[in-house]
């Protein structure tokens, strides 16, 4: 992977005079990596044919300058929530509208393909919610590959076509979503246990009595 910067042009509206930054199609809003990098990482990690690939191995495949593995964990959660339709009530376009628009122009059978269940590696899911997010990501990238089979980045191509229809970002997603942490302890890992503290309230200890104290002595100046 080649690390480089992409210029973002500043444009001026002829009607209101406001100045806006126009993002290139390969840059998603509020993301530091391009859509191609995000798609490459998330597609590989959610691929059912790669059950043994980990978050660290996923980013290591990109070479120097790759994103942190925790970023991939967050992208999977954000894209998963987005494709599940859980963010439709926010500022995002409804997923049903994106699927319906693509089905109208590309494939009438697309809604049926979208509804098909996906298989993901159970070792990557420590909770039911995480499993749903991962399955949703697999559904998203599998559908994109079906619609645009000849392109290297079908998800990016899908985004570009939808932006041409709706004139706004289509598959926008948050960088993270609430889910299980990406660091999990193994069930048989070595542990060091400490003695349990007593749950009973302790009795206050009394100080040792040294008997009555004599009054302080005064020193008289001669």
Give the DSSP letter of residue 213.
P
Residue 28 has pLDDT above 90, yes or no: no
Structure confidence at residue 11 as a pLDDT band (50, 70, 90): confident
Q: Where do we find the tokens 């209101």?
A: 16
DSSP-assigned letters across all residues of 173-209: --S--S---S----TT------PPPP-SPPPPPPPPP
Burial of residue 53 (CB within 10 Å: 0-12, 13-18, 19+) is middle
Structure confidence at residue 24 as a pLDDT band (50, 70, 90): confident
Domain presence at residue 94:
yes
pLDDT tens by residue, 133-191: 999 999 999 999 999 999 999 999 999 999 999 988 899 998 887 766 655 444 455 55
For the chain, the domain total comes to 1
Domain presence at residue 99:
yes
Cα 121 to Cα 26, 49, 141, 153, 185, distances in angstroms: 29, 9, 16, 23, 18
pLDDT attached to residue 25: 84
- The H-or-E segment that residue 10 falls in is strand 10-12
Give mean pLDDT, residues 24-48. Answer: 90
Domain presence at residue 97:
yes
Domain presence at residue 197:
no
Domain presence at residue 46:
yes
Domain presence at residue 210:
no
Domain presence at residue 161:
yes
Pair 96, 102: CB distance under 8 Å: no
Domain presence at residue 181:
no
DSSP-assigned letters across all residues of 26-83: TB-TT-SSBHHHHHHHHHHHH-TT-TT--HHHHHHTT-TTPPPHHHHHHHHHHHHHHH
**Nearest in space to 58 (alpha carbons), one of 70, 197, 101, 133:** 70
Q: Please give the Cα distance from 63 to 40 (Å, whole number).
A: 13
Domain span holding position 97: 26-166
Residue 208 has pLDDT above 70, yes or no: no
Q: What is the pTM of this model?
A: 0.75
pLDDT attached to residue 133: 93
* Residue % of the chain over a pLDDT of 70: 78
């Amino acid at each position: 992977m080649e690390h480089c910067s992409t210029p973002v042009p500043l444009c001026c509206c002829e009607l209101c005079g406001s100045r806006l930054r126009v993002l290139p199609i390969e840059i998603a809003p509020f993301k530091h990596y391009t859509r191609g990098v995000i798609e490459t990482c998330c597609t590989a990690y959610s691929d059912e044919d790669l059950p043994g690939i980990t978050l660290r191995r996923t980013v290591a495949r990109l070479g120097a300058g790759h994103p942190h593995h925790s970023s991939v964990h967050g992208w999977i959660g954000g894209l998963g929530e987005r494709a599940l339709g859980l963010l439709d009530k926010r500022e995002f376009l409804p997923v049903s509208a994106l699927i319906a628009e693509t089905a109208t122009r590309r494939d009438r059978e697309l809604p049926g393909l979208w509804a098909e269940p996906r298989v993901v590696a159970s070792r990557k899911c420590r909770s039911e919610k995480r499993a749903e997010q991962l399955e949703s990501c697999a559904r998203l990238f599998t559908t994109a590959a079906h619609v645009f089979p000849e392109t290297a980045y079908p998800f990016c191509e899908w985004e570009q076509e939808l932006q041409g229809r709706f004139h706004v970002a289509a598959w926008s997603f948050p960088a993270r979503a609430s889910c299980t942490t990406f660091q999990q302890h193994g069930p048989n890992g070595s542990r060091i246990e400490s003695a349990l503290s007593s749950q009973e309230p302790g009795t206050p200890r009394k100080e040792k009595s040294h008997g009555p104290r004599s009054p302080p002595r005064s020193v008289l100046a001669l």
